[in-house]
Amino acid sequence: MVRTGEPLVLLDLDSPRVQEKAIGWKNYNPQKATMDKNIKSTLRLKRTKRSVISSAQSTIKPFVCTKCKRRFCSNGELLSHKRIHTGRPFVCSVCGKYFSDRIILQAHQWLHTGEKPFTCTQCNENFLYKRNLHQHQQIHQKHKPYVCSTCGKQLKSKPSLDRHMKTHSNVNPFACSECSKSFRFQTHFQMHQRIHTGAKPYTCNECGKSFAQCGVFKIHCQIHTGEKPFACSVEKCGKRFRSKVGLQEHLLCHTGEKPFSCSECKKSFRSKSNLSSHQRVHAGEKPHECEECGKCFRIKVNLKSHRLTHIGMKSFECSECGRRFSRKHALIEHQLIHTGEKPFECATCGRRFRLKCNLDKHQLVHTGETPYVCTECGMGYKEKRSLVAHLRTHTGEAGIPCTECRKTFLSEKSLKNHMQTHTGLKPFACKECGKSFSNKAYFESHKLMHAGIKPFECTECGKQFLLKQLLKSHQLIHTEETPFVCPECGQGYKSKQGLQNHLLCHTGETNFTCKECGKKFLLQKHLNRHKLTHSSEKPFICSECGKRFSRKDGLRMHQLIHTGEKPYVCTECGTSFRVRPQLRIHLRTHTGETPFKCKDCGRVFATGTKLQVHKVTHTGEKPFTCEKCGKSFTQKANLNTHQLTHTGGKNFKCEECGKCFSRKDYLRVHQRFHTGEKPYKCNECEESFCRKDLLQTHELSHT
C-alpha cells in the first residue's frame, strides 16, 4: 500500500545490492536473527552506559590536573593537589617544616600546642587525628557476630572470619619460586617477593626513605609527625608507642611474660624477633656484613651502629660534660651517671643498677648460674669474655705480642693502645688542666674527675671510685680474697698487676733508672715517686704541724702520727701498724718466711727492699755520700744516722725518764725497759728479750 503524497521508488532488480539482499532472505533464520539483535542491543547499551558514566564523571569532577590528569570535584581541591607538583608553600612558624596544604599544617601545629581535638564519647580520651579516634572506637564496639567454628574466636566481619579460617588449615597455596617459601595469603606472598626483587614502592615525602611494606611505611611517617597513638594502660607508666605491636610487646614487661622460648637453651624472650636473633648465636650465623671492614653482625641494628664508627659521626651530645655519642640510647645511658638514677633493682638483695644488662649479670650471683660453658673441660663462666679468655688455655694461643716489650694482648685494639706507651703519643688532651692521655678511656675517666663524679660505689662501705677496676680491687678488701698467687713464694695478691709487680722481686729486674742519681727501680710508678725527691716541690701540707710532702699518700701516712691511729693489728703478738705493708712484713717475723733470694750468694731476705740493699754489697756501690765529711754509705738510712754525728742532735726524748736519743728506733728499744715488753722469744727455751741482738747472742748458748 502506497501512502498519499509519497513518491514511488522503483527497484532495479539487476543491481548487485538487490541481488545480495535476495540471497540473504533465502538463508534467513528467525531464531538466529533474534539472538543477533539481542547481542547488538546489549553492546549498544554498554556503550551508552560507558558514555553516560564518562559524561557523568566529567560533570561531577570537571577539574583536571594538567600534570597527572587526575580529576577533582572543585577548583579548591585541584589547587590543593597542584601544590604537590609546585612545592609546599605552608611553613610551620615553630619548627620551620613545610606542608602542601593549610589543613595539614594546622594538624601539625597541634603537636606543638598539645591540642587533641577529637574526643571519644565513650571514655573521653582525646586524639590528635580523626583516624586514630576511629581506630580507638573499635575497642568499644563489642558486637562481633561472626564466630569461628574451630576455636570460637569472634570477629566483626565475614572477610575477617574467612581470613582467620585459613590459619586453621595447613594449606599454603602461594609458593615462592626463588626460595620455595609458601604463604597462606596472597598479600603476604607479594610482600615476600619484594625481598627478592628489592622493590620498595612506599616512599616517604619528608626524608625520601623507601619501604617494602605499607604498615612499616605508616609507622615511619609517625616519626616525622611525632604521633604515638598507642598508650600503655598501666598506672604510673603511660608510655606511648607508634604501633600496636610495640604496645603489646611493652605490656609483657609489666606481666613478666616471655612466650617465645629457645629450643636449644630454653631461654625465653618477649618477642619473636628477639628469639630469631638469639637463635643465630647457636647457629653461629652473622648475616649482616660491614662493607668497610668485613666485620659481621647477627643483628642489623648493630651493623648500623658499627657503620657510624667509620664515618666518625656522633650526633648526640651530653649537655652536662660535652661527651658525644653515635647512638641516642648510649647518650640516655650516659646521662644516668649525672642524674645518679638507678632504675633497675635486684629483687633478691635490693641493689640498684643503671643498666639492665648489669642487673642481669648481678642476678647470676644469686642463682649461681654460669651460662657460658667450655666444651673442652666443662668449666662454666658468668661472662662470655671470661670464657673466650679461658679457651685460649686449651688452644695454646698466646695472643698478639708487642714488638717492643714482648707483652701479649688479646685484641688488636688493646695492642694499639699499649703501643702508645712506647711512642709517647698522647692525642687526648684535657681542656681543663692540659693533661694528655694515650688512651681515650683514661681520658674520659679523667674528665669525670673534674666534674666531681665517681660513678662506681662500694655496696659494703659506700666508698666511691672513678674507675670500675678500682672498685673491683677495693671490694677484695672486704672479702680478703687474694686470687693471684706467686708460684715462687706462695704470696697472694688481689690483682694480676700486683702479682706481676711482685714477680720482678724474684727475678731482680730493674728496668727503670733515675737519670738524676742512677738509682734503679722495679716499676715505673716507683721511679715516678722517686723523681719527686729530686724536685723541691711539695704541694701537700700537714694542717697540724705544717710539714710538707711531695705525695698525697705520704701526707696521709704522716697524719696517722697525729691521730695515733694504727688500724692494722698483728693477730700473733698484737703489734699495731699504720699501713698494711708494714703489717705484712712484720708477719714474716712470725712465719720465718724469706721469699727474696740473692742470686749471687744465695742469702734470703724477708723484703725486696732488704734484697736490693744487700745487692750493693756485691757491687761495692755506695751511692749515698755525706756532704760534711765525704763518707759514703750503701743505704740512705745509714747516711741519715751518720749525719746526726755532725749535728749532735738528739731529737727523740723518752717521756718516762727524759733521756734523749738521736734515732727513733733507739728510743723505741729504750721504752721497752719501762713497759717490760720483750717481743723476741727463743724457740728452744721460750726466754724473751727486748732486743733482737740479745736474742741472737742467747741462741748461741744452745748451739
195 lies in a domain?
A: no
How many domains are contained in the chain? 3
| Dihedral of the alpha carbons of 190, 195, 200, 201, in degrees to the nearest 10 | -10
Q: Are 154 and 166 in contact (CB under 8 A)?
A: no
Pinpoint the alpha helices (H) of 87-198: 102-113, 130-140, 158-165, 186-197
Question: Of 292, 313, 334, which closes a domain?
Answer: 313
DSSP 8-state assignment for residue 7: P
332 lies in a domain?
A: no
Q: Looking at the structure, tell me whether residues 534 and 601 fall in a common domain.
A: yes
Cell numbers for 255, please give them: 606481666
Q: Are 625 and 631 in contact (CB under 8 A)?
A: yes
Q: How far apart are CA 345 and CA 362, in angstroms?
A: 10
Question: Of 397, 419, 438, which closes a domain?
Answer: 397
Question: Of 397, 426, 459, which closes a domain?
Answer: 397
Q: Looking at the structure, tell me whether residues 486 and 373 fall in a common domain.
A: no
Q: Looking at the structure, tell me whether residues 385 and 516 fall in a common domain.
A: no
Q: How far apart are CA 20 and CA 252, in angstroms?
A: 87
Neighbour count for residue 667 (Cβ, 10 Å):
18
Q: How far apart are CA 296 and CA 308, in angstroms?
A: 15
Q: Looking at the structure, tell me whether residues 549 and 623 fall in a common domain.
A: yes
Stated length of the chain: 703
Q: State which amino acid sits at residue 559.
A: Q
Q: Looking at the structure, tell me whether residues 619 and 675 fall in a common domain.
A: yes
Q: Looking at the structure, tell me whether residues 509 and 658 fall in a common domain.
A: yes
Cβ density class 290-322: b for 16+ within 10 Å, e for less: eeeeeeebbbeebbeebeeeeeeeeeeeeeebe
Q: Are 181 and 191 in contact (CB under 8 A)?
A: no
Neighbour count for residue 289 (Cβ, 10 Å):
12
Q: Give the per-residue pLDDT at 681.
A: 84
Q: How far apart are CA 127 and CA 136, in angstroms?
A: 9
How does DSSP assign 15-40, residue by residue? Answer: SHHHHHHHHHHHT--HHHHHHHHHHH
3-class state of residue 428 by DSSP: strand
CATH assignment at residue 267: 3.30.160.60
Q: How far apart are CA 591 and CA 593, in angstroms?
A: 5
3-class state of residue 331 by DSSP: helix
Q: How far apart are CA 582 and CA 592, in angstroms?
A: 15
123 lies in a domain?
A: no
Diameter of the chain measured on Cα atoms: 179
Domain with 305 in it: 258-313
Stated as kind and residue range, the H or E segment containing 357 is helix 356-367
Q: State which amino acid sits at residue 394.
A: H
In angstroms, the Cα distances linking 640 to 36, 239, 361, 647 are 136, 73, 55, 11
Q: Give the per-residue pLDDT at 354.
A: 81
283 lies in a domain?
A: yes
Q: How far apart are CA 546 and CA 541, in angstroms?
A: 6
345's CB contacts (< 8 A; 6+ apart) are: 351, 352, 353, 359
Q: Which residues of the chain have pLDDT under 50?
A: 1-11, 13, 18-28, 32-33, 35, 39, 42-43, 46, 49-50, 52-58
652 lies in a domain?
A: yes
Q: Give the per-residue pLDDT at 46.
A: 47
Q: Looking at the structure, tell me whether residues 569 and 678 fall in a common domain.
A: yes
3-class state of residue 522 by DSSP: coil
Q: Looking at the structure, tell me whether residues 625 and 679 fall in a common domain.
A: yes
376's CB contacts (< 8 A; 6+ apart) are: 391, 394
Q: What residue has cell string 501512502?
A: 3
Q: Looking at the structure, tell me whether residues 295 and 389 fall in a common domain.
A: no
In angstroms, the Cα distances linking 336 to 238, 343, 362 are 21, 9, 19
Q: Give the per-residue pLDDT at 640.
A: 78
309 lies in a domain?
A: yes
Q: Looking at the structure, tell me whether residues 290 and 375 fall in a common domain.
A: no
Cell numbers for 357, please give them: 644488662
267 lies in a domain?
A: yes
36 lies in a domain?
A: no
